[in-house]
Amino acid sequence: MTAADPLVDFSGVKKNYGTFEAVKTLDLTIGRGEFVAIMGPSGCGKTTTLRMLAGLENPTAGTIRIDGQVMNDVPVHERDTPLVWQSLALFPFLNVVENVEFGLKMRGVEAKERRDRAMLWLDRMGLKGFETRPVDALSGGQRQRVALARSLVTEPQMLLLDEPLSALDAHLVIRMQGVLTKLQKELGITFVYVTHSQSEAFAMADRVVIMGQGEIAQIGTPQEIFRAPNNRFVAEFVGRNNILEGTVSGGIITIDGAEYPLPGAADGPAEIVVAADRMEIHATVSDAAAIPAEFVSEEFAGTGIICYFEGPDGEELKAQVNETQLAALAPEPGQTFWLSWLPDAAHVMAG
């Protein structure tokens, strides 16, 4: 999937720090008005990518274009790419409205106009009446909204966000996800959002870019990433996936000597993914195509319970159930169950 109306284009972009390759040959297009989340483990290159887009780092090789213009050597202050930091970087010596006005002041906007525009944004962010307060007297969620107002008051065509919700309590994260999604849709501007949080990326983004070891591992909608990971790295990073290896012949995959239907798959060695919420648990042998596995433990995951099992070769297997299902199974450590899945629940990984 590519952006129909591109605003940002990374073409063959690399970033080295000495001999260390932080970003390796990045090719990525981001559309006008698109919400893109860049996600991956620590050290994968996602923040370096964002910093190059913001102009805080220069690429070692390749070209970065914004709206068709090459930006490689354009300094930060000449780019229309405000960045909301993880730390928010609000000025403690300025009150709320002065923080919001700051970018306009740097652009030479007259005092009355910048105050009027700042007040409009404070009202829009639900902060009317807070304009004269010092920022250190605000809650975490309120400071977050001040940082957003400060970035958006200049009416940019793109907003960059570097793990902006990581310091917030869980209930505030959910609330701010709604605020960000609503803002992005209303304004129609491009959001480029870096996070290590799968729940944030999947809840808000139109497309998700998964990075690993300085490279793009997969790009797709949240549903594509979650249900159809390209490779083992993505499947393991997304989590709660069962990865099984076998050999396909005539629409059947053989795993550890047992046969399972896999219609449409090409013959040969294959890795399949079965998500935990599509794995079925049986207390007795009810299907020849089922894996015997010993129950190990359970984990409450908010929307359900993840049951962990050990397969015949010591592999970890996972199945998600609700509380009623768990009570009916009443599993005990060491107890044997049989795990199965419907044919359409298995996804064959490409890489």
CATH number given to 240-348 = 2.40.50.140
d(CA 315, CA 310): 6
Does 58 have pLDDT greater than 50?
yes
Residues of the chain with CATH 3.40.50.300: 6-227
* Burial (CB count within 10 angstroms: exposed 0-12, middle 13-18, buried 19+), residue 211: buried
Q: How confident is the model at residue 85 (pLDDT cuts 50, 70, 90)?
A: confident
- Does pLDDT of 277 surpass 80? yes
pLDDT of residue 250: 95
What pLDDT is recorded for position 288?
63
Which comes out higher in pLDDT, residue 26 or 167? 26
pLDDT at 1: 42
The residue among 232 and 164 whose pLDDT is bigger is: 232
Nearest-angstrom CA–CA distance, 142 and 129: 12
**What confidence score (pLDDT) does residue 303 get?**
72
Q: Give the relative orientation of helices 140-152 and 170-187 as an angle to the nearest 10 degrees.
A: 20
Q: CATH 2.40.50.140 spans which residues of the chain?
A: 240-348
What mean pLDDT is predicted for residues 262-277? 94
Q: What's the whole-model pTM score?
A: 0.89
The span from the first CA to the last CA of the chain, in angstroms, equals 18
Res 80: pLDDT: 87
The per-residue pLDDT for range 176-214, each reduced to its tens digit, is 898 889 989 999 999 999 998 898 999 999 999 999 999
pLDDT of residue 81 exceeding 60, the answer is yes
DSSP states of 211-232 as a string?
EETTEEEEEE-HHHHHHS-SSH
Q: In whole numbers, what is the pLDDT of the chain averaged over residues?
A: 91
Please determine, for residue 10, whether its predicted confidence score (pLDDT) is greater than 90: yes
For the domain spanning 6-227, the CATH number is 3.40.50.300
